[in-house]
Chains A and B, each alone.
Chain A
Amino acid sequence: MSGLILAFAEQRNKAFRKPAFEVVSAAASLAKASGGEAAALLVGAGIEGLAADLGKYGVSKVVVLDHEDLDAFNGELYAKAVCQAVEKMGPSTVLFPGSSQGKEIAPRVAAALAVGIAGDCTEMAIEDGKVIARRPIFAGKIHAWVESRSDILVATLRPNVFSIKETGGEAAIEKLDFTPPAEPVKAVLKEVLQEAGDKIELTEADIIVSGGRGLKGPENYKMLEELASALKGATVGASRASVDAGWRPHSDQVGQTGKTVSPTLYIACGISGAIQHLAGMSSSKYIVAINKDADAPIFKIADYGVVGDLFEVVPAMIEEAKKLT
């Protein structure tokens, strides 16, 4: 028996984001595989009403720490809340989404509890009664199966990799008190600047239309944006060349010094396929490459390639995509 698997269900502005359901589903799967139990943990202010939604992902219990001091996100305070819950619940494993919020909390929890942590895990399993995790290292060139030598394993899960499974019914809801620290925290969230529009986050997108040096200039990304709007659940990414040239913001960069993405479909337009770019997208389920150079390395990794001028091919793709509805 591998003990209680606890899933941190990330909420922002009192709503769940997709990675929360992935983590809760992953915890439920692990518990099922080990014959143990899974619970979800919800932290914030005025979020009690969200708890009932989590039962359907297969956890038997949702623990809620609801306190006004937890209204604005704060990595240090949220970590303290998680630690207080962990002390009361005694899990063997604590799972976090590898989202911006999860990454701000998880390491603090592991350090405060003096236990081990595995970041950016892409698979979890039970071996000899213990939870083990698979994580890519060296930009994904190698995968490491790791285990914890301490009582607890804290792990962050790569977004868009673990499937969301609705396997359960109702979960019992348990409220725990949060004891705020005696001293006020010294890193304070002053404001959140929202991006205009509703661009899908790259690390969570199902389809990514990505452009590289072959796009020749920022104005040509409009074409990729048009293709992305015609495909459901699609967003636009960029290679390092485009970002370094100032054509696209760094938050659009896919690659070793950008984001690691796991979409169902990655369409690489005018991207040659340098190792550092592949590091960011090689775990895409399907890869399409459009490049006028038949020898471009991207064709070695693509499932489907079109050799041609992207300025002719992409408009043809937009036409086909519009027919899809």
Chain B
Amino acid sequence: MKIIVCVKHVPDTESKIKVAGDDCSYDPSGIEYILNPYDEYAVEEALKIKEAHDGEVTIILLGPETATKTIRTCLAMGADKAIHLVEDNPVRDAASVANILAATIKDLEFDIILVGKQSVDMDNGQVGLMVATELGLPAVSEIVSMECGDSAAAVKRNIEGGVEVYDVTFPALFTTQKGLNDPRYASLKGIMAAKKKPIDTKEFESVDSKVVIKKLDYPPARPPGKIVGEGPEAVSKLFELLKDEAKVL
């Protein structure tokens, strides 16, 4: 069984992000980069399927040269090989990312594609389903469980007040949500093995973003708050403020 996992190299969630001088991009200096947390669930699920079904996992990453570190993390977890589409364009929009990934994937053999539900930098949450639509694949987003057979899977996704259960025939695409699994840490053996696994830096045709950033700014600052008091004695004053000042109760 062949599984493709699309991953992204993103700033660590602790990073302070500064808007660059041009107001349309951010200043990358001093930022630590990691594997997108939602993609960890995708890699882990791919590895579980590989183990249960004698499969092969291919990582695809669209990102800068420095992203090889993130690719090696995935290979160290247990993925077999990778395709690195090298490009330094951190504000590329979802539609064009999807175009590029779909164009690369359409020449490959696969049963399942797994993608994190969103990347924690752009927070768009669109690429997965856009790739599926472009490739004409059945797809379910934000899956929290997957029972994988040889030619189909039963998956669940959370909706407001409930859970939807889908049956999906392969080839198919799924975007992964927290709760799907517990991503493994790479073992020392895995890290060593990763150094020898192939990373193919494939050529690809660049596509213009369809949605562009006009301006970046910081969220409006919250007005300073106050400590109302200490302990349960402060509660009646708190409620007074919530009723009369904030007017929320």
B119-139 interface bits toward A, Cβ cutoff 8 Å, 1 = contact, 0 = none: 011111111111111100011
Select the stretch in B75-83, B194-202, B209-217 that faces chain A. Answer: B209-217
- Asked whether, in the complex, the Cβ of B225 is within 8 Å of the Cβ of A302, the reply is yes
Closest to A319 in B: B235
B157 in the interface (beta carbon within 8 A): yes
Select the stretch in B10-18, B52-60, B62-70 that faces chain A. Answer: B10-18
Which residues of chain B are within 8 angstroms of A112 by Cβ–Cβ distance? 133
- Asked whether, in the complex, the Cβ of A188 is within 8 Å of the Cβ of B163, the reply is no
- With A186-B168, A302-B225 known as contacts, the answer to whether A149 contacts B231 (CB < 8 A) is no
Closest to A232 in B: B249
B94 in the interface (beta carbon within 8 A): yes
CA distance A115 to B166 in the complex (A): 28
A84 in the interface (beta carbon within 8 A): no
CA distance A268 to B214 in the complex (A): 35
Shortest A96–chain B CB gap in Å is: 11
B103 in the interface (beta carbon within 8 A): no
Name the one of B210, B226, B231 contacting A116, with C-beta atoms under 8 angstroms: B210
Interface residues of A in 186-211 (CB under 8 A from B): 186-195, 198-199, 201, 203-204, 207
Select the stretch in B105-113, B184-192, B238-246 that faces chain A. Answer: B238-246
Closest to A253 in B: B178
- Asked whether, in the complex, the Cβ of B228 is within 8 Å of the Cβ of A305, the reply is yes
Which residues of chain A are within 8 angstroms of B208 by Cβ–Cβ distance? 149
- Asked whether, in the complex, the Cβ of A116 is within 8 Å of the Cβ of B133, the reply is no
Which residues of chain B are within 8 angstroms of A186 by Cβ–Cβ distance? 138, 168-169, 172
- Asked whether, in the complex, the Cβ of A116 is within 8 Å of the Cβ of B209, the reply is yes
- With A104-B141, A190-B166, A192-B159 known as contacts, the answer to whether A139 contacts B120 (CB < 8 A) is yes
Which residues of chain B are within 8 angstroms of A17 by Cβ–Cβ distance? 160
Which residues of chain B are within 8 angstroms of A117 by Cβ–Cβ distance? 93-95, 124, 126, 130, 210-211
- Asked whether, in the complex, the Cβ of B133 is within 8 Å of the Cβ of A138, the reply is no
Which residues of chain A are within 8 angstroms of B126 by Cβ–Cβ distance? 106-107, 110, 117, 119
- With A116-B93, A143-B216 known as contacts, the answer to whether A187 contacts B166 (CB < 8 A) is yes
Name the one of B133, B164, B213 contacting A108, with C-beta atoms under 8 angstroms: B133
Q: List 28 A-B contacts (CB under 8 A).
A: A76-B139, A100-B159, A110-B126, A111-B130, A115-B210, A116-B95, A117-B130, A118-B124, A119-B123, A119-B126, A135-B124, A138-B123, A139-B13, A145-B215, A145-B216, A145-B217, A147-B211, A148-B210, A186-B172, A187-B140, A193-B162, A199-B161, A253-B178, A276-B13, A299-B227, A306-B227, A312-B231, A316-B232
